[in-house]
Structure 1
Amino acid sequence: MQVKRRTVMAGLLLPALGGFTQHRADHPTAATSNGPVRGYRDGTVTVFKGIRYGADTGTRRFQPPSPPRPWTDPADALAYGPASPQTGSEPNQSEDCLFLNVWTPGLDDQRRPVMVYIHGGGYSTGSGSSPLYDGTRLAGRNDVVVVTLNHRLNLFGYAYLARLVGPAFADSGNAGQLDLVLALQWVRDNISAFGGDPSRVMVFGQSGGGAKIATLLAIPSAAGLFHRAATMSGQQVTASGPLNATRRAAAWLDALDLPPERAAEAAALPVDRLLRAAEIGDPVLGYGSLYFGPVLDDRTLTRHPFWPDAPAQSAAIPMIIGNTKDETRAFLGGDPANYSLTWDDLPGRMTLANMRIDVAPEGVIAAYRAMHPDWTPSQVFFAATTAARSWRGAIIEAEARAAAGTPAFVYQLNWTSPIDGGRRGAMHTDDIPLALDTVAALGSRAQGPQAQPMADILSRAFVAFARTGNPNHSGLPAWTPYDLKRRQTMIMDVPPRMEDDPRGDERRLFARIPYVQPGT
């Protein structure tokens, strides 16, 4: 993989201009605390892409981010900034990746709700530049300001070198989270120039994005930077402990042929070499490549995100916790063999890599056959792997909020895309285009005549939540928060409905088995 470095824009030298905005034809200009930026119009929405919120991280690898050098001449914000270096097909990668994007109905003083979307891809891949995250419709149809962003990922954002190198890299295990804090500080300081309300900032994200948000809820330096939070199939119950994180870093350094006493040299090695070395097997999990994620470092992160309870610092922040009914069909549904399993095949498929908890498959299978005697082996496989993995984390977080007396609004997406005859169910990622109202975007699985009605239901709930802290709107039945008596859950479908404790039999089955966040 070739990783490109973005050429730093000229003129990033002098103090920023104050004031509000200027309008020049179709390229309106907004003033920020770092310097003016020039965007463009897309219908009724003004768009700014690639606004720099942090300095080049290549010169500060494994260290906390820093603000950019200020500039005076308007900087073009017409194209997405680079993504963090990563494996895979994400285009335009660079360590100079601290950029964000803004969609707004107006550069004025209307103080609209602000919806900051944090992308998924675990902690290792992705960017805020996906067509699925385009904020044009969400901003234009609902009079809100939408923000997406890029930050450091994988080893660049989460390789924990503190115990190997010392103070110079003391914050390396959470550098990616500190990037998010810096981006949210930029929103606090600048979003009013884009027609947004800095006192009504909602963060929302799917998969890894949701996990990053769950972690931010427990990071002291993030306190006060956002006022509502919504996670979609993305939880972070526990962070990686410092010893396991060090074990992973040591394995990675060994793949780089660096003994621990030379660990600091990784700060100067080529990007491609660092990424290749991270493809080795994970020494803690025993499956998959190296996991890099938030670390309990007693600096940035001083407690686990949702263990042993919900963090007190974010108790007053309203929260939505969502999942999809058939999460693991996104990961396991691409293998045709998983749709024709026999009862003899099933135990061998229910491995630690697929279940993510240490449990004997025979007992789980017997329990499912008793609970659902009409289910096929394949139905049991997809249901059990979903219930044991990300759904389990969502339930734990919902229970923790309820126990603290600050219950969350909980939903489960049941709406199923007709792609492949619906065989993938309501799988992981399916709520992205529905929440962001991007069903027509490239890569969207939301198809068929019910796709837009479903998007209207879910996106309006998120907009209402951003505006008031309550997701109820005229297209929903009364959505009440989740408590430990009824476990109220909004079933997102066409039409939507409320249910008490959906899949309660599966919840009770897995509640007796200790849960450890995958990766930690």
Structure 2
Amino acid sequence: MPDSPVLSISSGRLRGVRQNGIDRFLGIPYAAPPAGRLRFREPAPPAAWEGERDASAFGPTAPQTVYPPALAPYLPSVEIPGADALTVNVWTPSDHAEREPLPVVVYVHGGALTRGSAALPIYDGASFARHGIVYVSVQYRLGQEGFAVLDGVPQNLGVLDQQAALRWVRREIAVFGGDPGRVTAMGQSAGANTLTALLALPRAAELFDQAVLQSGPLSAQPPKRAGRMSRAIAKRLGVPATREGFAGVAPDDLAAAQTAVSAGASPLGRGPSVALAIGGAAVPSDPLAALRSGAGRGIPVLIGSTSEEYRLWFVPGGTVDRITTATLTLARLAARVPKRIIDAHRRRRPGATPGELLGEVMTDMLLRGPTTRFADGRIEGAAPTWVYEFRWQSPVDGLGAAHAMELGFVFDRLDTPDAIALGGTDGPRALADAMHGAWVSFIRDGDPGWERWSARRPVQAFDADGGHIDYAPRQDELAGLPER
């Protein structure tokens, strides 16, 4: 059996890598490089090539800067130079040709729409391929290249990239042994945010058949608000907030300017940030509003978050310790959060600091509250919904059950540097078995193995014991919570 498998797709022949019963085909273009005349344009079809294309290494990463010093120890970065950033990577069982068509999962990485890469070790797809799943990871445009709000530029280009990648999967994945009619789209953080926008589209079922949404906001911002970052960068660089103005700035310089502008923001939401903008073909309306009005109800969804999302934003750098009772009160009043909700959080965690209480409420407003409203709106829908909460607390630097902590368990990759940086070296094996097994079951069979959402509000709580159902947890904290 050769060590370098060769397959033919519509663009040409690919030579991948075979190892331990799994074939990898990396850096496959699903669209043309977004450079030159194609910069700040909708994704264009990739060019065909002659002969065999080497598919043994990841393609270039989207232009970005590393995480700031407080976060860098926990969130590693990968930089691969080059313009050909719109690529996918495929892992498939080496004997796929001898099997019936296999289920497919397409993973969209997070990184606040500004950072991240499919090339991070934690996103290796071998753990899914070992279970008879064809795994695909996607690179897409980030930051101003993918989410600038500019005159003459389509909004949310990074989401349009993902649409193009998912259509590529529908067309090409059968060559890799995948079933184009059994595609699960899976994303975390910003990746879940963008997939929520796709789920809300009238033709979402043309792109995927199921969705996994991990710790992702479910909404977008009006263009004026979403465009604050682009306007601030334009002012900083002395260029107009237009395609022509930004196209005259090198991608790395744009990323650096964005980082400089972001330095003035805070975890409390002050300052400009990169966000999905409502309007245009990619995000025609606010995703959560569309979903609550019936969009996507025919598509099964597995959705959830970690129990202490805020700790990744508040603990590194010491923000959690600088928030006083007065700060908490002012933030509560500004967000119109009733005092009884703070009291409910304090009852559950009587020793919590003002910073921890504020973080809990922010997590509820950004993630848990919208998730509950989303799931409630689908109870009578044609497709089921399953909700989870990841509760295992990392011993590393007070991070607890922070944002992104579940990734090593979902991917069954606890031994990677990425996972160890967040969770240490002793993550519970039973939890990894339970979470990875549930995700595999959902992708393969359409059911993660616990009770679907109903009026009883069952939540699968994942902890060191492997998981159990809680019914309607945190209802005293979520009842009456203002909508953002």
- The CA distance in 1 between the partners of 2:319 and 2:180, in whole Å, is 50
**1: CA distance between counterparts of 2:123 and 2:276?**
24
Distance 1:388 1:304 in 2: 16
| Partner residue in 2 for 1:480 | 451
Alignment of 1:11-90 (within 5 A): 25-59=2-36, 60-88=38-66, 89-90=77-78
Q: Quote the Cα distance in structure 1 between the aligned partners of 2:156 and 2:319.
A: 39
Q: Quick one: distance in 1 between partners of 2:481 and 2:125?
A: 42
Alignment of 1:146-157 (within 5 A): 146-157=135-146
Q: Is 1:429 aligned with 2:404?
A: yes
Identity of aligned residues (%): 30
Aligned residue identity for 2:107: Y
Partner of 1:273: 253
2-side partners of 1:405 and 1:222: how far apart? Answer: 15
* Aligned 8 A contact 2:229 2:261 in 1: no
CA distances 1:368-403 after superposition (whole Å, capped 9, x unpaired): 44x347333265344334323332332232233236
Q: Is the 8 A contact 1:487 1:501 kept in 2?
A: yes
Normalising by the residue count of structure 2, what TM-score does the alignment of the two structures yield? 0.88
Do structure 1's residue 490 and structure 2's residue 471 form an aligned pair? no
What is the RMSD of the two structures over their aligned residues, measured on CA atoms? 2.8
- Tell me by how many angstroms 1:112 deviates: 0.9
C-alpha separation in 2, matches of 1:464 and 1:397: 23
Q: Kindly provide the amino acid, as one letter, of the partner of residue 14 in structure 2.
A: V
List per-residue Cα deviations over 1:166-191 (Å, max 9, x = no partner). xxx3x2x1211111011111111111
**One of 298, 305, 313 as aligned partner of 2:287:** 305
CA deviation vs aligned residue, 1:408-440 (integer Å, no higher than 9, x gap)? 1000011223435xx422111111111111111
SS at match of 2:287: coil
Compared CA separation, residues 192 and 309, structure 1 to 2 (3 A): closer
CA contact 2:11–2:48 (8 Å) conserved in 1: yes
Alignment pair present for 1:184 and 2:166: yes
Query: What's the TM-score, normalizing by structure 1?
Result: 0.82
- Letter paired with 2:102: R
SS for the counterpart of 2:166 is helix
* 1:394 matches 2:371: yes
Task: Answer with 278-287 or 90-99: which moved more.
Answer: 278-287
Q: In 2, Cα distance between the equivalents of 1:194 and 1:311?
A: 37
In structure 1, the residue matched to 2:213 is 231
Deviations 1:38-88 (A, max 9, x none): 101121111111111111101211110011111131100111111111121
Deviation of 1:139 (Å): 1.1
Contact preservation (8 Å) 1:103, 1:147: yes
CA separation in 2, counterparts of 1:512 and 1:143?
A: 42
* Deviation sequence 1:428-480 (CA, Å, 0-9, x none): 111111111111111213456552221111111111111122111xxxxxx22
Q: What is the letter of the counterpart of residue 231 of structure 1? A: L
1:84 and 1:112, CA in 2 relative to 1: closer, same or farther beyond 3 A? same
Asked if 1 retains the 8 angstrom alpha-carbon contact of 2:435 and 2:466, the reply is no
Partner residue, 2:434: 457
Secondary structure (helix, strand or coil) at the match of 1:481 reads coil
Gaps in structure 1 of 5+ consecutive residues: 1-22, 473-478
Q: Does 1:114 align with 2:93?
A: no
1:345–1:362 distance in 2 versus 1, CA, 3 Å: farther
* Residue from 208, 221, 226 that aligns with 1:240: 221
Cα separation, 2, equivalents of 1:399 and 1:295:
25
Count matched residues: 465
CA contact under 8 A between 2:369 and 2:481: conserved in structure 1? no
Q: Residue 135 of structure 1 is aligned with which of 107, 121, 125?
A: 125
Which of 182, 185, 188 in structure 2 is aligned with 1:206?
Answer: 188
Aligned to 2:235, the other structure's residue is in SS state helix
SS at 1:199's partner residue?
strand
- CA separation of 1:179 and 1:345: change in aligned 2, threshold 3 A: same
- Contact 2:32 2:46 (8 Å CA) reproduced: yes
- Is contact 2:12–2:51 with CA below 8 Å preserved after alignment? yes
Aligned to 1:256: 237
Residue 316 of structure 1 aligns with which residue? Answer: 298
Kept in 1: contact 2:430–2:466 (CA 8 A) = no
Q: Which residue of 1 aligns with 2:308?
A: 326
Is 1:116–1:204's contact at 8 Å kept on the other side of the alignment? yes
Residue 91 (structure 1) aligns with: 79
Alignment CA distance shift 1:49-1:257 (3 Å): same
Paired amino acid for 1:375: G
User: Distance between the aligned counterparts of 1:480 and 1:256, measured in 2?
Assistant: 53
Gaps in structure 2 of 5+ consecutive residues: 67-76
CA–CA distance in structure 2, aligned partners of residues 290 and 38 of structure 1: 44
Distance change (3 Å), C-alpha of 1:364 and 1:404: same
In structure 2, the CA distance between the partners of 1:26 and 1:495, relative to structure 1 (3 Å rule), is closer
Offset of 1:246 from its aligned partner?
4.5
**Inter-partner Cα distance in structure 1 for 2:245 and 2:399:** 45
**Structure 2 counterparts to residues 439-454 of structure 1, below 5 A:** 439-444=414-419, 445-447=422-424, 451-454=428-431
Q: Which residue of 2 aligns with 1:377?
A: 353
**CA distance in 1: counterparts of 2:447 and 2:334, whole angstroms:** 34
**Partner SS, residue 335 of structure 2:** coil
- Equivalent residue, structure 2, for 1:9: none
Q: Over alpha carbons, which structure has the higher Rg?
A: 1
